Amino acid sequence: MFDTIVLLTGAVEQVALAPVLRGHNPQLTIYPVTTSEHLAALDAAILERARLIAFSSPVIVPPAVLSALGYGAYNFHPGPPEYPGWAPAHFALYDGATEFGATAHAMAERVDSGPIVEVARFAIPPNIGVLGLEGLAYAHLAQIYWRLAKRLASEAAPLPVGSLSWGPRRNSRRAYQAICNIPLDISREELERRLKVFGGNHFGIAPTIHLHGVAFRAVV
């Protein structure tokens, strides 16, 4: 019997998102989860009655947890299908993309690969930075969540999915680190491009030049 939601998101988001679900189903039991340790501590009997909802969370749900969930798992990804994986706003700006968005999808064993439920898209404003683009994506992601919350909270059946596909390039922390590893022969244009997008020391990773055993990190 479906009567439980495992809500995987940050502590601030827990405060806002859980009441939306309870508003549609007051009988719902919600387990707030913020870390992989919290997730691993959930009993199998809980998972059997539960659906997992992840909202803009960096935590990767293990395959064993996904298979134990009785009513599936859905992820709210702060980027469009063209940018699965890590730091989608950074890579979109680096690529010079003109459009961005947010995606809700069923979760699969491979990160950001499950069937897509809904996508919200918007034009990228001129000269916007990473934080601004992430803010716009977050707002659109919240709108998708509000639209799907009633079904997620009160219907045992899986959400319907469409025919949209994920992009072929799945970015990762390793890819982010690689692009921040600045070669000595880099052109001025390419250096400025990388500094503009990756120079904020997000995730504790900054553009870095290695010279004679010394690392020089740039933060702008």
Task: Report the C-alpha gap between 175 and 103 in whole angstroms.
Answer: 21
- Are 31 and 133 contained in the same domain? yes
- Interval 86-111: pLDDT, tens: 999 999 999 999 999 999 999 999 98
In a domain, 115, yes or no: yes
Mean per-residue pLDDT of the chain: 95
How many structural domains comprise the chain? 2
183: Cβ contacts below 8 Å, ≥ 6 apart: none
Task: Report the C-alpha gap between 89 and 130 in whole angstroms.
Answer: 6
- Are 95 and 179 contained in the same domain? no
Domain that holds residue 71: 4-154
In a domain, 19, yes or no: yes
- Interval 44-60: pLDDT, tens: 999 999 999 999 999 99
For residues 10-42, one letter each, b for 16 or more C-beta atoms within 10 angstroms of the residue's C-beta and e for the rest, the string is: eeebbeebbeebeeebeebebbbbbebeebeeb
* 88 close to 42: Cβ distance less than 8 angstroms: no
Question: Does 219 score more than 80 pLDDT?
Answer: no
In a domain, 186, yes or no: yes
- Are 93 and 131 contained in the same domain? yes
